[in-house]
């Protein structure tokens, strides 16, 4: 949990891209009536804003300044969450594979992580928070009441992403997607600051052969056993 004026329960859901954490987190938050933090969106937005303003990905000071001054909003329209950057709808633009690659590079910059840390913690508000990311349980909310680490094989995560892109009418190559996922995994797990790994007290769940409803059901049972649902 985190403490503002009063203790607020927190569930963290960490893991690599494609493990299902984003979908699962939003469903759990909706079921509980809690707030949702998509921390990955903040890194994607930082990378996107850096490109928009001509800041290079190796310019640590410039990236930190971009992160500190992000003009972002997450309004809900017709039941869907939008992502606005400086008033522009970038919901789809920040979800491309290239945007994910750039976000992974930005996330390895210590000054950017420091700049975004307080902003992420500010999402912790009553009645509770579900925080989705890569270091939510290890760094940002290390005292969370329930920490989940979702994983799946790289091959399965590439297959899922391929299916999503094809459904959206986007050309994709499964082999290339697998290589990109493996490269991103290596970068995220080997970075010196907040590497991707389960917290010592996290519950790890392999979703390779599980459907989203099955994952949500298992996590709901965990929440109930912890007295959080």
Extract the annotated binding site for ATP: 15-23
Q: Determine the Cα–Cα distance for residues 101 and 52; give it in Å rounded to an integer.
A: 16
Q: Determine the Cα–Cα distance for residues 69 and 132; give it in Å rounded to an integer.
A: 22
Q: Are 33 and 127 in contact (CB under 8 A)?
A: yes
Annotated binding site: 15-23
In sequence order, which residues have a C-beta less than 8 Å from that of residue 148 and are 6 or more positions away? Answer: 11, 12, 13, 14, 15, 21, 137, 202, 203, 205, 219, 222
Burial 78-108 (b: 16+ CB within 10 A, else e): eeeeebebeeeebbebbbebebbbbbbbbbb
In sequence order, which residues have a C-beta less than 8 Å from that of residue 14 and are 6 or more positions away? Answer: 21, 132, 133, 134, 135, 136, 137, 138, 147, 148, 149, 150, 196, 198, 199, 202
């Amino acid at each position: 949990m985190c403490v503002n004026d009063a203790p607020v329960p927190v569930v963290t859901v960490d893991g690599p891209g494609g493990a299902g954490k984003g979908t699962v987190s939003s469903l759990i938050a909706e079921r509980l009536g809690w707030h949702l933090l998509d921390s990955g969106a903040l890194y994607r937005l930082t990378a996107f804003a850096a490109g928009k303003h001509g800041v290079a990905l190796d310019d640590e000071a410039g990236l930190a300044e971009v992160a500190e001054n992000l003009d972002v909003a997450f309004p809900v329209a017709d039941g869907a969450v939008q992502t606005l950057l400086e008033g522009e709808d970038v919901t789809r633009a920040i979800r491309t594979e290239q945007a994910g690659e750039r976000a992974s590079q930005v996330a390895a910059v210590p000054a950017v992580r420091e700049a975004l840390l307080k902003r992420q913690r500010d999402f912790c508000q009553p009645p509770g928070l579900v925080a989705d990311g890569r270091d939510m349980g290890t760094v940002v909310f290390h005292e969370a009441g329930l920490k989940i680490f979702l994983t799946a094989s790289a091959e399965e995560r590439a297959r899922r992403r391929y299916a999503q892109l094809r459904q959206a009418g986007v050309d994709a190559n499964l082999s290339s997607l697998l290589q990109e996922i493996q490269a991103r995994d290596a970068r995220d797990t080997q970075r010196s600051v907040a590497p991707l790994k389960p917290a010592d007290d996290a519950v790890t769940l392999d979703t390779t052969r599980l459907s989203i409803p099955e994952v949500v059901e298992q996590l709901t049972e965990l929440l109930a056993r912890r007295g959080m649902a």
